Amino acid sequence: MCLAIPGKILEATEIGGLRLGRIQFGGVTRQAYLDYVPEAQPGDYVMVHVGFAISKVDEAEAQRTYAQLQLMGVLKEELGIVEGPK
């Protein structure tokens, strides 16, 4: 099974001809390649799979995805997201 996680682009840079972004996933920040979503800019949400942003999503969809992953218990350790009130 493949799983893409939504993250918010904090900054984007180009290094060696490749576009990289610093992406925030809950309490964790990681780098991901942005070449597949050339229109994505800082502040946008993207779906990231194995280090590559593969599509843009709106913030509401990202939050719905976080909520579902949280219900499944996936986000606790992986992304440092603390469970909120139910």
What does the pLDDT look like over 6-36, one tens digit per residue?
999 999 999 999 999 999 987 789 999 999 9
Q: What is the dihedral of CA 16, 36, 60, 21, to 10 degrees?
A: -10
Decide if pLDDT at 66 tops 90.
Answer: no
Residue 63: which region, alpha, beta or left (left: phi > 0; alpha: psi -120 to 50)?
alpha
pLDDT at 79: 55
Is residue 55 over pLDDT 90?
A: yes
Write down the domain spans for the chain.
5-78
What class, spelled out in words, does domain 5-78 have in CATH? mainly beta
Mean pLDDT estimate for the chain: 87
